[in-house]
Structure 1
Amino acid sequence: MRTDRVALLTYSTKPRGGVVHTLALAEALAARGVDVTVWSLGRGGDTGFFRPVDPAVTVRVVALPEIEGETVGERVLRSIAVLGGAFEGGYDIVHAQDCISANAVRVDVRTVHHLDRFTTPQLARCHERAIVDPPAHVCVSDAVATELRDGWGIGATVIPNGVHAQRFAVAVPARRAAPYVLTVGGIEPRKGSLELLEAFAAMRTPGVELVVAGGETVFDHREYRAVWERRAVELGVRPVLLGTVADAELPSLVAGAGVFAFPSVKEGFGIAAMEALAAGVPLVISDLPVFRETFSGAAVFARGPQALAAALDAALAAPDPRRAAAGRALAARHTWDAAARRHLDFYASL
């Protein structure tokens, strides 16, 4: 199949893992001479992405105005309709990065970053169609590919994510009044936010802050966040909530952390965790198959709040230089150019 013109479709301009992946892959493909266009929805008046995009990549942002009182299901269906109505064809490859864009247009490839479980009928149907309808699939880890095969009988090509390792390796660490445990991804069930809160409260290291960055999402986690905030008060924990951090400031924030906590209960890869390794920061992560696959030898794995607390304390008290070196080397091996090469081989095989 020809790969002269490629369209990559994503659902948002905000800094989420799938969007980070889309932009980095687009730039790496363009560096290899491919004519790449990234299509996305612009929520809340956004006309561009959360960071500058290489001019070699064409960007098409389709406006999606906010509607007061709209449910998540209604917003997802409207997102599908708006993106589908604006999309223009003429590409050799149309590659969707999420279930919204895979429902919006007829695609050649779908990347399954992770698999969700929805109880709302509208969302469940959209999720199902975005898995079964595309003729070809990419997964970012063997663990997700196994889920796809076991759950749907679909075979996928595994192409791991890259990371801009050098950007984090040379970052000047941010300075805060106290040492801090950092997590990136916001407050939501999938990120294990309540488990991290319980773990932080159980830590023995004095004078440490819990810093939470990120949190942009299309879903409504207000109820979960309210529970999280009440529990923080009960535990006497005062987390520092930064919200979405400017892209230019993120490497320094990561590099300045005493330890990076990534207690997710569901992930497909973990770009934020790989960025922490690139910065030489100790990584304490959930004991999940996908993380064992990706981070073995470079991270400390913990299951449950008590084990997580002990691992965080240990990382702060005595960082392991051999594990740090292994983490830097691991991150350096995951390049976006390698991901782009493998995507081009995959496109050509279709």
Structure 2
Amino acid sequence: MRIALLTYSTRPRGGVVHTLALAEALAALGQDVTVWTLGRGDFFRPVDPRVRLAVVPFPEIDGEGVGPRILRSIALLRAAFTPADYDVVHAQDCISANAVDRCVRTVHHLDHFTTPELAACHERAIVRPYAHLTVSAAVAAELAAGWGIAATVIPNGVDAARFAAAVPAVRARPYLLSVGGIEPRKGSLDLLRAYRVLLGELPGIRLVIAGGETLFDYRDYRDEWEELAGTLPVAPEVLGPVAHDELPSLVAGAAAFAFPSTKEGFGLAAMEALAAGVPVVVRDLPVLREVFGAAVGYGADPPSLAAALARAVKEPDPARRAAGRALAAAHTWASAARRHVAFYEGLAG
């Protein structure tokens, strides 16, 4: 089959990581795959040469608001894309799903937006596709309850071997790690509040935050985060985007991995931390209970997140560590690709 996978960026966001890994696994099965995206340069990592790449230039415009940026993103990708070249058009996000007239859509998670253009983009990207996938049963249930849409569940794959083989980064002081940047969906303010509590029990531990490339502007939220961070006795370390080859070591060296997201579809970054043998604490959400089970610790608010992180650092559990590694290793991209091919073939039938 000639398959187009559409995403919205060349930067290391979860949906982009998913798109590239799925494309490579599909190509390994002999499928003809092209990844289409907007971008200001190459992808954040090398891509298997069996996968064709079509990067539509997306120049920066100073002072552009979120709404106009969303509309420009859709228009640029729509103008460049060539749907007649493909048997399957598979969009991975709301921008790319709005840029085509007919597509399969993977709904990674559901959000609530206040920017009118983004809210409309989100809604159209749910109702217009002719077939739907999700990466967890919890998100499929949300689609069914909110829109009456029946979605097929195909969980994420995980590059478990890459993280399992990582040499832990060496830092002067032990650190907690969070990956995903500073934004509302990642629960960044709650993580800071939990860290303030945790410092009372583990005064020497650092908080390190990696990642954060996004199309959206969370300036007000970030200002609030920075104001709160300035009141802490130990300042968090914000790394921004981390090079692809350096991320596994950074993850493997963490004393614990914090994942306090308020909305998720699967939790790929947390699963990568489990593959590296790092204790993980997540927000107590139904979707994360579904995906992680007993392999992680849970917290519902800053005090309980802090308590779970303290236990993870002070009382390592070898059985939970082994269970986490096994869980991550069970989610392979090869399996995900085979299930996608079966899904595509079912649509053709």
Q: Does 1:322 align with 2:319?
A: yes
Contact 2:7 2:93 in 1 (8 A): yes
Contact 1:95 1:107 in 2 (8 A): no
Which of 66, 70, 86 is the matching residue for 2:64? 70
Q: Does 1:85 align with 2:79?
A: yes
Which of 166, 170, 195 is the matching residue for 1:171? 166
Aligned residue pair count: 344
The aligned residue for residue 256 of structure 2 is 259
Equivalent AA in structure 1 for residue 151 of structure 2:
A
Equivalent AA in structure 2 for residue 79 of structure 1:
S
RMSD over aligned CA atoms reads 0.8
The aligned residue for residue 239 of structure 1 is 236
Equivalent AA in structure 2 for residue 87 of structure 1:
F
The aligned residue for residue 154 of structure 1 is 149
Contact 1:96 1:107 in 2 (8 A): no
Per-residue deviation at 1:310?
1.0
Between the aligned partners of 1:126 and 1:281, the Cα distance in structure 2 is 37
Q: Does 1:200 align with 2:207?
A: no
What is the TM-score of this pair, normalised by structure 1?
0.97
Per-residue deviation at 1:205?
1.0
The aligned residue for residue 30 of structure 2 is 33
The aligned residue for residue 136 of structure 2 is 141
Gap regions ≥5 residues in structure 2:
none
Equivalent AA in structure 2 for residue 8 of structure 1:
L
Equivalent AA in structure 2 for residue 70 of structure 1:
E
Per-residue deviation at 1:311?
1.0
Between the aligned partners of 1:236 and 1:194, the Cα distance in structure 2 is 16
The aligned residue for residue 61 of structure 1 is 55
Equivalent AA in structure 2 for residue 165 of structure 1:
A
Q: Does 1:126 align with 2:121?
A: yes
Between the aligned partners of 1:237 and 1:263, the Cα distance in structure 2 is 20
Between the aligned partners of 1:341 and 1:349, the Cα distance in structure 2 is 12
Equivalent AA in structure 1 for residue 106 of structure 2:
T
Q: Does 1:190 align with 2:185?
A: yes
* 1:284-330, Cα deviation, whole Å (9 max, x unpaired): 11000000000012001111111111111111111100000000000
Which of 28, 45, 67 is the matching residue for 1:51? 45
The aligned residue for residue 10 of structure 1 is 7
Between the aligned partners of 2:227 and 2:254, the Cα distance in structure 1 is 25
Per-residue deviation at 1:76?
0.5
2:294 counterpart SS class: coil
Per-residue deviation at 1:335?
0.2
Equivalent AA in structure 1 for residue 141 of structure 2:
T
The aligned residue for residue 280 of structure 2 is 283
Per-residue deviation at 1:241?
0.6
Percent of residue pairs identical: 69
Between the aligned partners of 1:215 and 1:347, the Cα distance in structure 2 is 32
Between the aligned partners of 1:31 and 1:147, the Cα distance in structure 2 is 32
Per-residue deviation at 1:236?
2.9
* 1:169-215, Cα deviation, whole Å (9 max, x unpaired): 01000001100000000000100001010111111112110000001
Between the aligned partners of 1:62 and 1:108, the Cα distance in structure 2 is 19
Per-residue deviation at 1:32?
0.1
